Structure 1
Amino acid sequence: MSATAAITTDAARRHAREAVKRSGTSFGAGMRILARPRREGMHAIYAFCREVDDIADGDQSVGDKRLSLAAWRAEIDRVFAGNPQTPVGIALVEPVKQFDLDRAEFLLMIEGMEMDAEGPIVAPPMETLLAYTRRVAGAVGMLSMPTFGAPKNAASREFALALGDALQLTNILRDVGEDAGIGRVYLPRELLEKYAAPLDAPGVLEVVRSGNSENLAKRRAGLALVGRDLGALAREKFLSARAALKSLDWRVVRPALLMMGVYEAYLKRLETRGWERLGSAVSLSKLEKTAVAARYYLAPPPD
């Protein structure tokens, strides 16, 4: 976390905007349709998330990561006190005030990054996995909803948290092979044990890279069943988000719907190609993502 003594609010906003641009995030399209103050608020929120995520995924020692994330806890305190020291902190001050953002959600995001920093996370219990998704995805949703202009009510909360779970679980299923390659297994222990699938990253990676090896057929079948069950949970979370959406103005939350559409398309592709291929790369073309975004921009998701 780099501090500065004299950065202006405009410069801080440019810094946050550039963080979004550099990342190439698929959420960028959703941010662009917002009115300027809300768009700048989302840029600042995203830049914060990017900063703490980079710490968790970086090359620092675990001890240094703890210190860096602790520094961000202190910076969030300063944001809410009105005297931040970093470009991202300065960019957050106005959105925090204007949209009444909840300090606790920023701290939950940091907690999620601390879970990764202490890791790697390997075969967590389902309760721990859902605690993780609440922090790294649910917190983003809870900060985004008031920034979009949605009311602070039960429907907004249910939509934000259900969609956050759905997006993160889909992301986990999409990236099983990539995560195993860096020592991480976010798949829940209960399902791995139930279906006799590998419980560690080398084991998952061996299955993913084994092709049709008969020696690993049982574990490959088990991993496929884990994917099927976790995919069903992700689908259930998408349905819960759709149910909550009926009590909201879909136009207000269009940026979230663009993300929802893209990630539902990822989940559908994982389902239709078959869970026996869990761990191999899956992608959507730019044209496919654009088509999904256009559909969700123009109309609410179909029932």
Structure 2
Amino acid sequence: MSATATPAPAGEAEAPALPAAGSSFYTAMRLLPKKRREAMYAVYAFCRAVDDVADDGGTREVRRAELDRWRADIDALYAGRPVARTRDLVGPIEQFGLKREDFQAVIDGMAMDAEEDIVAPDEATLDLYCDRVASAVGRLSVRIFGMPEADGIKLAWHQGRALQLTNILRDIDEDAERGRLYLPREKLAGIGLSDPTPMQAIMHPRIGEVCSAIAREAEEHYRATWEIIRRNPRKPTKAARLMAAAYHLYLKAVIRRGWAPPRARVKPGKLPLILVALRHGIV
């Protein structure tokens, strides 16, 4: 997207954002009953809007101000005063008990990208980032799916981290081109890198050691995700199952490709994705 994209003024109505047809998220959400599907699309539209601000919303000052307006709009929404761009969230919040703090956590995660380019965060900061931009979305999602509270929160914790770490490994080259590096500084220090630029890090001959360690962490989160899914009824975990299975294909694809540059952009084959959809799209 263009870096000069201008966010809509606070309160201005926008067309609801829908996930790209054919994407794993779109397929997973299509499995849901109508009310739950519409609720997920409303949450997706919110996430897409604040993500666009963080990535392409103008200068840092403009992005910071717009995210502050989103924080105020979420507060107003929970105070019974929704503006146009939050009105589609009224029904989902009432029907599924979505929490204000999870919406605010998503905004806080986007602010981490908007306020400065993340470069080699420490492990704790990376985990906080994953919690805000992924697991917080998961906490909103599992309530819409209808999962039991305790296991739903655990699922969001593990699956959010599994998916976000997968994204980080898949996108290291694209992120570096934007001046970002989400690989943790402790692991980079382990291969002799101290305060590297993103490009220095991803072109280092031992970067595969760091990426492989992150991949192992992601695998642990996928394993925990499936343990939770398997002990719960199939219907409320259907979308989570499809997302976990589809994203795991991406992780396996980047592991097979390897970490040495030049790294070709990878995408699982159409047949494996179809098989995942067939397997997990049936109750």
Residue number in structure 2 paired with 1:127:
124
Contact 1:173 1:278 in 2 (8 A): no
2:61 to 60, 63, 68: 63
Q: CA deviation at 1:189?
A: 0.6
Give CA deviations for 1:3-33 in whole Å, capped at 9, x if unaligned.
558x7xxxx8xx32xx114587430111111
1:223 to 184, 195, 207: 207
Contact 2:158 2:225 in 1 (8 A): yes
1:53 aligns with 2:51: yes
Contact 1:192 1:226 in 2 (8 A): yes
* SS of alignment partner, residue 252 of structure 1: helix
Residue number in structure 1 paired with 2:250:
266
Q: CA deviation at 1:71?
A: 0.4
- CA distance in 2 between partners of 1:83 and 1:26 (Å): 34
1:59–1:147 Cα change, 3 Å: closer
- CA distance in 2 between partners of 1:79 and 1:59 (Å): 23
Residue number in structure 1 paired with 2:166:
170
- CA distance in 2 between partners of 1:278 and 1:242 (Å): 33
Residue number in structure 1 paired with 2:144:
147
Pairwise mapping of residues 114-263 of structure 1 onto structure 2 (< 5 A)?
114-153=111-150, 155-197=151-193, 199-204=196-201, 207=203, 219-220=204-205, 222-263=206-247
Q: CA deviation at 1:127?
A: 0.7
1:291 aligns with 2:275: yes
Residue number in structure 1 paired with 2:4:
none
Q: CA deviation at 1:175?
A: 0.6
- CA distance in 2 between partners of 1:93 and 1:278 (Å): 47
> Structure 2-normalised TM-score?
0.91
1:56–1:72 Cα change, 3 Å: same
- CA distance in 2 between partners of 1:39 and 1:167 (Å): 20
Choose 28-37 or 104-113, whichever is displaced more: 28-37
Contact 1:176 1:279 in 2 (8 A): no
- CA distance in 2 between partners of 1:23 and 1:2 (Å): 28
Q: Flag structure 1 segments of 5+ consecutive residues without an equivalent.
A: 208-218
> Which of these two proteins has the greater Rg computed from alpha carbons?
1
Contact 1:53 1:113 in 2 (8 A): yes
Q: CA deviation at 1:297?
A: 2.1
- Equivalent pairs counted in the alignment come to 275
**C-alpha root-mean-square deviation of aligned residues, in Å?**
2.0
Contact 1:177 1:280 in 2 (8 A): no
Q: Output the amino acid matched with 1:194.
A: G
1:4–1:271 Cα change, 3 Å: closer
Q: CA deviation at 1:164?
A: 0.3
Contact 1:123 1:188 in 2 (8 A): yes
Choose 274-283 or 179-188, whichever is displaced more: 274-283
1:124–1:21 Cα change, 3 Å: closer
